[in-house]
Each structure stands twice: as structure tokens, then as C-alpha cells.
Structure 1
Amino acid sequence: MGHLVTTGRTRAAVARSLIMDTAERLYATRGLAAVSIRQIGEAAGQRNKSAVQYHFSGRDALIKAILAEHAAAIERHRAAMACPEPALMTLTERVRHVVLPRIEHHIELGAPSWYGRFLAQVTVEPALREYAVQAHLNTPSLRRLYDALAAQDDEQGPAATRREDMARQLIVHMPAELEAELAREQPAAEVAAAAWRRLGADLVTAVTGLIDALRASSA
């Protein structure tokens, strides 16, 4: 009996993972509005037309599960970084802390991958945008960083919110662009990894410069 229960759970886990992977790919390449729950189930090879609803209560729950899985993977990369206490970080160190674990996650995903384009789609969906943001901000390492920043007067208020929003556009949409390019060109793994790390370095420079410039203009 125990073996049968374990087998059933394993099959359910496999089906759930397959549905998530399929949904991520379809949403990334077609957009959220163009993909139905039924299409996801069919593309995932699920004979039961209600398979997606069985494993997830609906579209939003499915998308949130995908976001949570990636956020956890990125958090593992961030936890492995050697960083000073958040309150002691320079601006560049803070930006690196946000950006580089995401870059390492993209490299780990291999090619083709869909997460960058999936996230870009989700962040322009009004009903899901805030959840997508919070899925990452509420991870332990970023929570510590933002709590430390919140204690500093110059990091609070509408100006700080605008800076974060503008930086987020770069951090979300530039990886989506590179991911699409790599999917088209299909370079060797080491070439793709180098491209991701170049983007990571460029993002750190660009976001740091953006924040510095906006701080100066609002001073």
C-alpha cells in the first residue's frame, strides 16, 4: 500500500512539474492572454481535460507556483554569495546582490529557457505584477537588504520607489531580450554563459548609474 501511495504521489509531482514547464514555455512565447488552461493541459500531454485545475486552482495559482519555484532557485544562488552586512553594502554591492543571482539562475536553466520571457509577460499583467515583484522581494536575503535600506532616510519615499521601478524594468526586460536571442541562435553552453555574465556586468553598471543619476537629480 505504501508503495502505491508513493507511486501516486510521484506521478502527481511529475504531472505538476510538466504542466508548470509547459505553461511557462507557452506563456513566454505566446503571451498570457493567448494561452488557455485547456491548451496548457493538452500541450503537457494530459488526457484529463481538468488536469490543470486538478493540480492548480486556476491560471493565477499556476503562474504563482512557477514564480515561487524560480524565486527559490534564485535565492539559493544569492545565499551562496559572499556579501557584507546589508547596512554596510555600497550601492554597487547592493545592485550586484540583486542582479547576479538572477544571472546565475539563467545560466543554470540552460538553453532554450523561458523564464526571462515568462517573467516579462507576467510583470505587465496588472493582476499579477505585484505578486511577481513580491515573490522575489520576500525571499530572506532580499528582505534583509530592503529592511536595512528602509532604516536609511535617503532610501525612502516616492523618489526611491521610482528608482526601484525604473531599475526593475532593466533587470526584468533585458534578460528576456537576451533569452530570446539565445533561443534563436542556440550557441554553445559556454558562449551562452559568457553572454549572460556580460549582461549581468552591464546591468550592474547601468542600474548603479541610473540610481546615482536619479539621486543626484532629486537632491
Structure 2
Amino acid sequence: MARTSGPETREKLVRAAEEVFAAQGVDGAQLRDVVQRAGQANPSAVQYHFGSRAGLLDAVMAGRQARTEQVLAPLLAQVPEAAPVRDLLTALVAAEASELADPRGLRCLRISAQLSHESGVRTRTPHPTLAGTAYWRLIERIEAALVRDGLPEPLRLERLDLALTLVGAALADRARQLLTDRTPLTSVNVFLADLVETTTALLRAPHTHVPEHS
């Protein structure tokens, strides 16, 4: 039997993890299933190559982020600096939706939706896989647009986190339907356009001045 190199084994484990995490859930997935699906005899292969379950998950998400960046970076470069929220969200949704094009992307959408609150938006501390990316620059530009709209800081951060969660959940649900050969209610163009409008409405909804209570 031919031996595989370290990078080849890592890639096999990442591909296997995408399938297992998507099918079993991030918290429910068994690493032994990942190792088995990757065709590895060493039960400690994940620990050897990635250090931990979290390291493997980060590798899966780093690959997914790299693919999205290739789409998002040129889109973001075309959006004027003072663009409104809707234009920025249009770029975001288009880039995220590029993962709908193949089974690997569909599985990764199902995984990343479970991790949306770990992005670091609420604390302005990006997760390591997001630091320095076009995706994070886009998040900062959306917040800047909300500043111009006069939305107070706590609401800005909370709404922004919820908006990203909504986008992730909607795309993950679309991915689930496609992976299980179910026919969505709307065409992809209608779905994506409505997702932009729904998310824009969430971010730009009027806010009521309610007194804080201890």
C-alpha cells in the first residue's frame, strides 16, 4: 500500500470531517468516524495532524473561508466606501451563496451555521480564521453604515451578530434541502434577493428608546 504524505492525509481528514460534521452536527460528530471515513488506521490521526477536535474544525472552516474570500474580495472592492447596508449585504450574500454550487460547499454551509456566534462580532475580536479577511472588513463596513444610521453601539453589535446568524441559517437550510434532494419553495435568485432584503430590514429596523433596568 502506498504511503500518503502529511498534507494528503490532512486533506483527507478535512474532507472526511466536512461530511461527518455536516451529517452528525459539530457537537455530536465522532472523531473515530472522521478517521474511518478518511481511511486512516491510526485512531489518533486527528490529534496528530490538528492537535484537537477544535483544530480540525478550524481547518474545515479555514478552507471554507478561503473559498468564500476568492469571491468576496473582488465584490467588496467594487462597493463604494460609504455604500448603504443593502449594497454591502448583497456582496456578503453573493459570496456566501457561492458555497451552494457543489456538495462540499453545501456541507460546509451546514457546519458554519452552527458556529455563527463564534465569529467575535459582539466583542470586535475576530475568530483567528476571520482576522485580516475581506469578510471581517465587510463586517466592519456594515457596522460603519449602521453608525451613520444612528444605531447605538450595543444594538449595532447585537443586530449585526443576529444578521450574520440569519444569513448562515438560511443558507444552511437551503443546503440541507439540496443535499436531501428536496425542492426549495423559491428559485435561488428569489431566495438570495429576499435574504438580502430580510437581513437589511433586520439591521435597519427602527429602535425604540427603552430605559435600562438594573
TM-score category (smaller protein): 0.7 to 0.9
Choose which of 78, 81, 90 in structure 2 pairs with 1:83: 78
RMSD value, Cα: 3.0
Aligned equivalents of 2:157, 2:187: Cα separation in 1: 30
Aligned equivalents of 2:27, 2:154: Cα separation in 1: 32
- Number of matched residues? 199
Q: Deviations over 1:170-216 (max 9, x none)?
A: 111111111111111177xxx9xx94443221211111112221xx2
Q: What's the CA shift for 1:80?
A: 2.5
Percent identity for Structure 1 against Structure 2: 25
Taking a change above 3 Å as real, the CA distance of residues 23 and 144 of structure 1, as seen in their structure-2 partners, is: closer
* Preserved CA contact (<8 Å) 1:75 1:139: no
Q: Does 1:122 align with 2:115?
A: yes
Choose which of 11, 34, 44 in structure 1 pairs with 2:5: 11
Q: Does 1:27 align with 2:21?
A: yes
**AA of the residue aligned to 2:178:** L
**AA of the residue aligned to 2:177:** E
Structure 1, unaligned runs of 5 or more: 1-6
- In the other structure, the counterpart of 2:200 is 208
Aligned equivalents of 1:140, 1:112: Cα separation in 2: 19
Taking a change above 3 Å as real, the CA distance of residues 34 and 174 of structure 1, as seen in their structure-2 partners, is: same
Q: Deviations over 1:56-102 (max 9, x none)?
A: 1010000011111111111110123252333x211211111222101
Q: Does 1:38 align with 2:25?
A: no
Structure that is richer in helix per residue: 1
* Preserved CA contact (<8 Å) 1:112 1:183: no
* Preserved CA contact (<8 Å) 1:112 1:182: no
Query: What TM-score results when the alignment is normalised by the length of structure 1?
Result: 0.77
Taking a change above 3 Å as real, the CA distance of residues 162 and 180 of structure 1, as seen in their structure-2 partners, is: same
Deviates most, 92-101 or 113-122: 113-122
Query: What TM-score results when the alignment is normalised by the length of structure 2?
Result: 0.78
Choose which of 171, 183, 190 in structure 2 pairs with 1:198: 190
